[in-house]
Every structure is written in structure tokens, then in C-alpha cells.
Amino acid sequence: MQTDKIPYRRLLLVLAAAWLVLNFTVLVRGKVLPWDAIYQFYPTVYFNAHSLRTGVAPWWNPFIYGGFAQLGDPQGMLFSPLLMGWMLLPPDPGAVWFSWGVLLHMLMGGTAMLGVLRRHGANPLGMLLGAIVYMAGGVAASRLEHVPIVIAYGYVPVVLLALRRALEQPGMGRGCLLGLAAGAMVTQLTQVTYLFVLVVLAYGVVAVATEGRAMDGRGRIRTVLALGAALVLALLVGLPQLIFSWATLQLSTRSDMALALAAGGSLDLRALLFLVYPNAYGGLSDFIHAPIDPVQSFLYIGAVPMLALAGLVRAWRMPRRRRGIVCFATLALFATVYMLGTRTPVYGWLYSWLPGLNHFRRPSDAAYVLNFALAFLVAAGATQLDLRSRRETAWLAGVALLWLVIAGACSRFAPHGAPGIAVIVGALVLWQLRRPGSAWRVALWLVVLVVADYRSYNFNGRFNASYNDVRHYRRDPAALYLADRLRSHERISVESTSAAWDNMGMLMGIRSTQGYNPLRDALYESWYQPRENVNVASAPAPYNARPDARLDDLLGVRYLAIGHGDAPATYVPPPDYTKVDSFPYVDLWRNDGAYGRFLRPVDVRWLEVGEAPSVADFNQTDFAQSVWLTPRDAEDQAAARARATKCTGRVEADVQGSTYSRVDLHVHSAQGGWLVAGDVDHPGWGATLDGVPVPIHRANGMFRAVCVPPGDHQLTFAFDPVRLVKYAWKHRGDGRVSGT
């Protein structure tokens, strides 16, 4: 079966049909992508899109962690062009729309993979199997919850295809397309992106060396210009996210991660059993009690693709195929060793010298690279199958059927009898292949078997579909109560609630002291001790310990939401909180002791750099009258003391306008005085008085304050991305972050 005899559009149609069948539960039945996708990433992207649509810069997100530098979140997807464009199309994009956008990236990757594999000499069966394995095999199916990774993964074949096209016919146009694709990929600053950048660079070096031999001098010049244009454009597209994330990381809990933290994200060697048995260790039938994490460890690419690897023996006999086999087999081996992480000495060695690796904690992400390499090897092997031989194709289908029968029987056809679908379809395919027909007909039936296999295991709903909890949250009477009664600056705190309460407040304008993100500001972390998400226990926070919870008071926490499920709530709120109501699954308590957004103290308590007040003194402080000046450094301390003599009175403040990233106030003081904002002190925030910059001082441990001189003035607080980058650059390498 020759590649050029089957039109590309027909292959694309088959691939799209497979994509639709595999993702039918989400695309048609209204389910959504599960876990992190719906609880962390959808609210984040919704916030980005809603802000842009209303003309507000989404640099600062006030809805989680008392305020969060959104533009620097490596997984915030603010600069992801296609996903953000997709989310801006409807006026109020829902979770299903978001899930469609994510899955379309996988279809995009599979489509581009067809073109890449064609250029590697694959026939239609090899192209389809390779593209389906890439798009839906292994972790590409089990980890759809990790949206930034999925987005980056979807771009990889697009970058490779654009690179091949730029080398085939060098030109500025094709170079620019390559640059756009590469730039879009690197806007997702994940470990998968990091690894695939290395893969693409290696692939590019080999491709340039191969194609360069056949070029004349003019062709080489055109190639250099095209690749140069690609590099410039990729930097223009990807650099903003790179710069802002770099600056934010310097001030975060992940400025540097110890090697030991990668142990939890290292795959167990036993995970390799998933390559041949999709329900290994009961990962599908008893998801919760499996001895190893089936989501991270799911490597199953299907019975037919695994059998197609036998065709590599024939491919090896062809000298022109050997280099490709060696390259991708080596890549598969490297990915396997890498994803085992700290279980081998290789990862520790890489960690010690490979720049940037200290920002990642999950070596298992290399399973995506393994899936990529296997997709190429499957394509190469499947291309060598003799589809006109009824004996060979019947053998392939028969062994695949036996494989599926054994897998189904071992799992007792759990969950929900889904493996039985693959067995029934396998029997049908075997019966069909015993009849004479064209090679294309045989290829289609084998694709049908792969799709049935994947639909039974990879896409049976355990990994990639869940109930639309967004719809439920937006109808939750407790959430509706809070959205109606909270003033714009007031916040909530949550205890023992469901994961929906971590980030979904963004959808309804509910600000929280908690959130759902592995990246948090180091200053906020050191004082407030927020959790990564509801499933992770919080560390003790002495300055916010119950029953006083003084940081909650300073943050303007007006309500405390306590989850209780079907049983009464067990968490005891502070004694001065008043119970508002008991809603289904959530009790709400009101805190009448919460301070307003701006405090106007007259009594200043001075501390040295690095000194903190005693917990007892802090808890007994009347913050409406007193302020602790807790300088971030000697410069902050000197500037505050120089202004102290001018700030001895009371300040009157009136908020005239407020957005996420800017607050405008009219202030008046007869003698001059201090104004303390109930917002986190972050170097991205600056202040101007009548248009002239004035310093922000750190107060009460983690808040920001300014000294207002006598008279009437216009005071503006504004978040400036450039200011953030300048601060991070100034203090690079000195070990100083906002938490010190």
C-alpha cells in the first residue's frame, strides 16, 4: 500500500473520526475533563479570558491565595494563543467548551503527526497507527487533566512538520510558520515542554545535517535565513511568558526544588507492565487502591500497535530505515530511564548539571516522550506489514484478539464491562479480515480495532471524563449567597470543602485565601501557609492560628466556608464567628471582626530586617490603630524611617476606582500618616502619589503600606509586569525572595 495512493484528507477524516469516538463522552455527552483540568486550569483560563474580554489586564489574580501574580504562572496559559483565542469566542465559555479546546489541540497534534510520519516514509496504516498512538496512547489518554502539558504536547508534531517543510523548501514564510509553532509550544512552561525542546533541537540538528548535504550554496543561505526568522519569531511569541515566569519563580515556593522532591514523581519500575496489560495492579478496576499511581504509570498503547512493532525486524533490513529506528529506540530508552527519576542515578546526574531541571518535581513527565518515540516506532513497524497477505493480517488480528481476551479476563472485564467491547470488535475484525479485500480496507479494520481497544481501556472514563462540577458550583446556594453578599475587596477562607471551592470562586467573583496551584508566593507561604489544594494538608501558620486567625482579619476574610458532606462539620470556627446558615455540604460563618481593605493606623511598631513580632503580641494588636513595619530589606527599613516623622496622623482614604491590577484612591491627611492595604506585598505592585512614584513598605508581615504626606492627594496602586522583572533581575542570584 503506497503512501501517495491514499489522499491525505481521507487519512485526516479517519483520524478525526477516531478522535471523536475516543472523546465521545466529553465532545457529545457533555462531560468534562477531570481533576486538575476542571478544578485548577479551567477557572484560571476563564479568568484570563474574562479579564481580556472586559478590557482588564489579567496580570494580577485577586481570587486565590490573597492575590496571585497570574501573568507569571508557568501553567497559567495566558499567552497560549490558540486556547486563549478559543476561550475568547463565546461571551461566557463553559467547562465543556474549554474541554473541546483542549482536545482540539490533541487532534491538531495527531493531524500534524500524519504529515511528519508521511515524510518519514510511513504508509497509510503506519501514519494512522502512529498518529493515534501519539494522540491517544499511554499518558496522552490518562493525563488529559494536565492541560498545559496537553497543549504543549499537541504542538510538538506541528513544530516538527513546520521544520521539515522549512527544510524542504526554505523560505521566510515557512520559517515564520516554524517560529510561530515553536513560540506557541514554549508558552507552556512545563517539564514536557522542556524535554521536547531538547528533542526538537536534536531532531532539527539531524534533519539539517541530512537535508544540507543535498543543498547548494544558495539553498544553504535560504535555510539559514528561514531558521533565523523562525528563531526570532519564536522568541517574540514565547519570550513574554518565559521572562514573567522566570521573575515569578524567583519569588515563589519553587525557585529551587531539592532533588529529593522528585522522588514522589518518579515512576516505579513496575509501571512498565502497563505497556502490555492496561489493568496492571488493578489500576482501572480498583483505581483508588492500586499500589502505584495508574494515572502517571499508564503506558498502554494497545495490542495492535505493540504487535506492529514486530515489523521493525523487516524495517531493519532496509539500511535507509536503520537510522530512524536507532534514533527513536534510543529516545524511548532515554525517556524510560528519565521517567524512573530518582530510582536510577541518571536523573541525579542530569539534575546536577542540566540547567532548569531544579524547577521540576515529576520525572514521570518523560512518559510523554516515550509515547512520542513509540508512535514513530509503531509507524515504522506497521509500514512493513503485508496487508495483502490474509495469513499475516489474520495472524495479527488473531493474536490481538487473544491479547484482549486475556487482558479482559484478568481484569474480570472491569470497569463496567468495557473491555468486552474490545473483545467483541476484535472478533468482528478477525472475521472481516478472513475475507479478501484491499490493503486500505484491512488498514481501516485494524484502526477500528485500535479504537475499540482504546475506548475500552484508555478512554473508558476513568482518566479522561468527569461530571461537570462547574455547573454544580455555579448553582450551589452557598456560592450564590457569597457572590451576592461579599463586597469587592472581601474574601473567604475555606476548610474541609470540595476541590471546587479552591479555584472556582474566580467564576463568581469570590476571593479566597486558598487556591489550587503548586506555585505560590514565598512571602504568603511563609506567613499564611496556604495549601496546594484541598487534598493537601496545610502546614501550621502561627500568625493565623485559631482561634485568633489575625491574618484572616487583615485579609478581609468576611466568611468562613466549612464543608461537612453528609455528616455535620467537624471543624470548629473561631468563637467570635457567627453561623450564617447551613447549606448542602457547606456551613457558612460570618467574621464581623474582618478589617476593611485599607487601614489607617497612627501607632508604628518598628522591627529590624528579618525580625518578626511575637505571635502573642501580633494577635493582641489592634491593627486599626497600630501597624508593625516588617522591612523586607535594609533599603525598605531606611526609607520607612526617613518618612516616619511625616506620618504621625490619621489618613482619610476614598477608593475612586479599582480593577484587578490597579486601585485609585483620593487620600487626605492633616499631619500625614500611614495607609496599609489588606493585600499581599509583591514587588510587581508599585505606588504613585499625584503621579510621582513613592515607596511601598512591608507591613504586618506580608502586607503593603505607604506613608501619605499632609494634604489632598491622588494615590494609585498598580501592578506593573516590568517592575516585577526589574526586581527579579536586580536580586537574581542573591538568594533573596519575597519570603525572606
CA separation for the pair 41, 712 (Å, rounded): 44
CA separation for the pair 332, 257 (Å, rounded): 26
Q: Is the peptide bond before 355 cis (omega within 30 degrees of 0)?
A: no
346-357 core/surface letters (b: 16 or more CB in 10 A; e: else): ebeeebeeeeeb
Confidence of residue 738 (pLDDT cuts 50, 70, 90): very low
Q: How far is the CA of 16 from the CAs of 22, 107, 110, 132, 357, in angstroms?
A: 10, 7, 9, 10, 36
For 439-454, what is each residue's pLDDT tens digit? Answer: 999 999 999 999 999 9
565-587 core/surface letters (b: 16 or more CB in 10 A; e: else): eeeebeeebeeebeebeebebbb
Residue (of 468, 503, 339, 392) closest to 31 by Cα position: 468
> Residue 490 has what DSSP assignment?
-
Contact 616, 508 (CB under 8 A): no
Integer Rg of the chain from CA: 29
pTM: 0.96
CA separation for the pair 726, 740 (Å, rounded): 18
Q: Biggest alpha carbon distance in the chain?
A: 97
CA separation for the pair 407, 589 (Å, rounded): 52
Quote the cell numbers at residue 529.
501557609
Neighbours of 634 (CB within 10 A): 10
Q: Which pLDDT belongs to residue 740?
A: 44
Neighbours of 537 (CB within 10 A): 7
Confidence of residue 527 (pLDDT cuts 50, 70, 90): very high
Q: How far is the CA of 397 from the CAs of 113, 440, 582, in angstroms?
A: 25, 15, 59
Q: Which residues contact 267 (CB under 8 A, 6 or more apart)?
A: 292, 296, 297, 339, 340, 341, 343, 363, 364, 367
Q: Give the residue-averaged pLDDT of 252-270.
A: 91
Lowest mean pLDDT among 203-217, 274-288, 573-587: 203-217
Tell me the sheet residues that pair with 562.
495, 587
CA separation for the pair 53, 63 (Å, rounded): 18
Q: Which residues contact 609 (CB under 8 A, 6 or more apart)?
A: 631, 632, 633, 634, 636, 637
Inform me whether the pLDDT recorded for 417 exceeds 80: no
Residue (of 79, 85, 84) closest to 239 by Cα position: 79
Q: Where are the alpha helices (DSSP H) in 23-79?
A: 24-27, 36, 42-53
Give percent of the chain with pLDDT exceeding 70.
Answer: 97
Q: Phi first, then psi: give them for residue 461, nearest 5 degrees.
A: 100, -10
Tell me the sheet residues that pair with 8.
none
Q: Which pLDDT belongs to residue 164?
A: 95
CA separation for the pair 565, 77 (Å, rounded): 33
Inform me whether the pLDDT recorded for 413 exceeds 90: no
For 669-690, what is each residue's pLDDT tens digit? Answer: 999 999 999 999 999 999 999 9
Quote the cell numbers at residue 515.
487556591
Lowest mean pLDDT among 296-305, 569-578, 627-636: 569-578
Contact 159, 200 (CB under 8 A): yes
CA separation for the pair 160, 684 (Å, rounded): 37
CA separation for the pair 181, 161 (Å, rounded): 10
Q: Which pLDDT belongs to residue 451?
A: 98
Residue (of 625, 441, 613) closest to 542 by Cα position: 613
Confidence of residue 435 (pLDDT cuts 50, 70, 90): confident
Confidence of residue 215 (pLDDT cuts 50, 70, 90): confident
Q: Which pLDDT belongs to residue 568?
A: 65
